Amino acid sequence: MIKQLLLAPGPTPVPARVRAALARPVIHHRTPQFGELFGRTREALRELFGTDGDVLMLSSSGSGAMESAIVNCFAPGDKVVVINGGKFGERWLELAKMYSLEVVEIAVDWGSAVRVEQVEQALKDHPDARGVLVQGSETSTTTCHPIEDIAKLTRERDVLLAVDGITAVGVYDVPMDRWGIDILVTGSQKALMLPPGLACIALSERAWERAKSVCQPRYYFDLARERKSQAGNSTAYTPAISLIFGLEEALSMMKEEGFPQVFARHERNARATRAGVEALGLELLSPNDPSPAATGLYVPEGVDGKKLHGYLRDKMGVAFAGGQGHLKGKIVRLGHLGYIGAFDVITSLSALEMGLRHFGHKVELGRGVGAAQEILMSALPD
Amino acid sequence: MIKQLLLAPGPTPVPARVRAALARPVIHHRTPQFGELFGRTREALRELFGTDGDVLMLSSSGSGAMESAIVNCFAPGDKVVVINGGKFGERWLELAKMYSLEVVEIAVDWGSAVRVEQVEQALKDHPDARGVLVQGSETSTTTCHPIEDIAKLTRERDVLLAVDGITAVGVYDVPMDRWGIDILVTGSQKALMLPPGLACIALSERAWERAKSVCQPRYYFDLARERKSQAGNSTAYTPAISLIFGLEEALSMMKEEGFPQVFARHERNARATRAGVEALGLELLSPNDPSPAATGLYVPEGVDGKKLHGYLRDKMGVAFAGGQGHLKGKIVRLGHLGYIGAFDVITSLSALEMGLRHFGHKVELGRGVGAAQEILMSALPD
């Protein structure tokens, strides 16, 4: 028996309380009983998103919600600035092109964040831009873009800021209304501690206004239709009922811990992970703008990244994520979002140390772990 | 305590074995472990659909899969014949119009099936028609359209037959390849005995050919992209992992019973339900072309359908479905698809009898139940 541990940047481990909720008998969705559950969940999501507006739940992966952002808020020919610094930046790019938007691409090195000045310059060069599309946390490169500062630029222009917050919402504070984000998306299988299959999206009032004039065919992802249904605690199409049971439970757990404490835990675990990686003399993928959701590191020379990743998963029971796109085989990503405690960080680093040693890389066992412990000690109660 | 019973035409009750599978720890979807699970599930779905082709799994409700059929197989301006005999016929109609298809509508009374001659005439009148869109079982009216006979018309023409099999697949035998169906859709929360959130769709070879030439923007529902990924036992976007755990278990249960036995059980339970309803002197919504998935009946005069439905659900613990569209408040639908045994039929009829008596309708208690028992006796082993 090899005990299986999921330590990837998503899907993330689902707590037993949430799994028990997923196993509840299904109830019919056109009932007051479901309506009450749905209403409570909507309220908790509002709090998490930091918005007075509606947070809609869609039965799809996060990519479906990203598509809904495009087809509801941008018309063919609309010019959008796309921050492309990883696989999910590419996803925005592909979506924008598929729906005939005119794309101004800001290509960013994988592992770096866009600089606010680049966005400002793009908006100056393209005063007719109608939107900026960006990741709150680019999962493929474990990097955060400066959302708050970008929002300062977009909110004073007629430019909608669309944020893929799939590994941002619930990881760090993304107060939508306060910052002035226009479109914020997340998925269930990340900080929300659920299996995949549910996505959430919220729009600002001006994004809803814009949607009224956008002529783009849409049906399953028609957000105005969903908004009308969901305001009455129902959904336009049959919802993923069990995932909503689970979502209520997961949001309860987060509120019991306290959202600020959840964010602080992510920040601390991320810092401890990075300290451990650096103590091992390994190179961080994103040294300057790291995401609190996951930590990417370059596999050292002489070690086959694909083999390392497979060995950790199949022989040691620890499922990290590898690299995507041109980083395939070159990096490992340690997830630390969602239901992750201090000892999951210890496990991650310990597995990394042992895996590297197994493949002949010179590692002082315990050194990365020790560096992480120094940081994790700070959170111990008196 | 009122014991809660779900006896609607979907969502349907989820067996304990399947609920236990839903509660399993999540595994990463980009792993050989997930690939093996996915591959086994693909094989079982092929058997259920009666196809040698690919059955794709999508993380969406059934409506999402219906949309995928439209955007992949029909281009703007394509002429399609839509059989509209209920709320889900209307859904095909809305989808076709949304994506600028030219619609030839065959309006059918709610509770009746289309006659094959009507379809034949429409195809003669419109030799340029590119498709026929129909329900295998129109859930809103508990009616079956004659799919096998319609397929005889379409397969000898360059006309794609798209069947919404959401309450058909797994309820009765819909052998896709043998009949010559081109597009077959189903959803998880019906005969597949799962919570909602997963949809399946299969295309014939000529539908895949057609899809190559169809220029319609699509991303999340791009079936060619999914086909390529799923052939490698992966998915284009993060799949609903837990529902796929559950699906494997549900399909195992169906195969243990035997697909022919599953279909026979549905047919018998449906017949018993109709016998019970008729023995109570109640009028069937679909007397001539009833679906084996559910039985609709008119609420007798003097009884408020909405109140009856709510009372059964909230005070007696039995969740049937009411009517949709213009049938709201006028009918009750008793579901008998999925994880439904003989005594669920007894419960349905007994609850109906008691509910009607409660609202002052003259009912001989036990009469409907007895009529159902006569039929159910036939399945008792020696």
B187 CB neighbours in chain A (<8 A) are: 238
A327 phi and psi angles, rounded to 5 deg:
-90, 0
C-alpha dist (Å) from residue A234 to A14, A237, A244, A326, B175: 26, 9, 12, 43, 35
Give pTM, 2 decimals.
0.96
Q: How far is Cα A380 from Cα A52, in angstroms, rounded to an integer?
A: 35
Return d(Cα A318, Cα A193) in angstroms, integer: 18
Q: Would B5-11+258-379 and B16-256 be classified into the same CATH topology?
A: no
- What does the pLDDT read at residue B21? 98
A113 phi/psi in degrees, rounded to 5 = -95, 155
Residue B326 DSSP class: G
Q: Which candidate in A3, A28, A222, A249 is best for mutational testing of the B interface (most B CBs within 10 A)?
A: A28
Q: In Å, what is the CA distance from A297 to each residue of A172, A322, B317, B354?
A: 21, 10, 55, 66
For residue B74, the SS3 value is coil
**Which residues of chain A fall short of a pLDDT of 50?**
none
ipTM of the complex: 0.95
**Domain spans of chain B?**
5-11+258-379, 16-256
Chain A residues with CB-CB distance to B10 below 8 A? 238
Per the CB < 8 Å rule, is A4 touching B23?
no
Pairing assessment for the beta strands B55-58 and B199-203 based on DSSP bridges: antiparallel
CATH fit for domain B16-256, picks 1.10.357.10, 3.40.640.10, 1.10.600.10, 3.20.20.450: 3.40.640.10
Give B 230-249 residues with CB within 8 A of chain A: 237-243
Residue A44 token pair? 């908790």
Beta bridge partners of B298: B331
- CATH number for B5-11+258-379 (one of 3.40.630.40, 1.10.3720.10, 3.30.465.10, 3.90.1150.10): it is 3.90.1150.10
Virtual torsion, Cα B278, B284, B287, B289, nearest 10 deg: -130
In this predicted structure, what is the pLDDT of residue B1? 81
Residues A167 and A222: their CA atoms lie apart, in Å, by: 24
- Relative to beta strand B129-135, strand B79-84 is parallel
Q: Which of B31, B63, B99 sits opposite A319 (nearest CB)?
A: B31
User: Hey, is B346 helix, strand or coil?
Assistant: helix
Domain A258-379 CATH superfamily: Aspartate Aminotransferase, domain 1 (3.90.1150.10)
Run of H or E residues at B333: strand B331-335
Q: Which residues make Cβ contacts (< 8 Å) with residue B209, sequence separation at least 6? A: none
Q: Which residue of B has its CA nearest to A238?
A: B61
B247 token code pair: 């699906």
pLDDT tens, residue order, chain B (382 aa): 899 999 999 999 999 999 999 999 999 999 999 999 999 999 999 999 999 999 999 999 999 999 999 999 999 999 999 999 999 999 999 999 999 999 999 999 999 999 999 999 999 999 999 999 999 999 999 999 999 999 999 999 999 999 999 999 999 999 999 999 999 999 999 999 999 999 999 999 999 999 999 999 999 999 999 999 999 999 999 999 999 999 999 999 999 999 999 999 999 999 999 999 999 999 999 999 999 999 999 999 999 999 999 999 999 999 999 999 999 999 999 999 999 999 999 999 999 999 999 999 999 999 999 999 999 999 898 8
Alpha-carbon torsion A122, A123, A126, A129, what sign?
A: positive
> What angle do the packed helices A367-376 and A342-358 form, to 10 degrees?
170
Burial zone of B103 (CB within 10 Å; 0-12 exposed, 13-18 middle, 19+ buried) = middle
**pLDDT computed for residue A173 by the predictor:** 98
Separation between Cα atoms, residue A355 and residue A316, nearest integer Å: 8
Please report residues of A whose CB lies closer than 8 A to that of B74. none
Instruction: Say whether B321 and A28 touch across the interface (CB within 8 A).
Output: yes
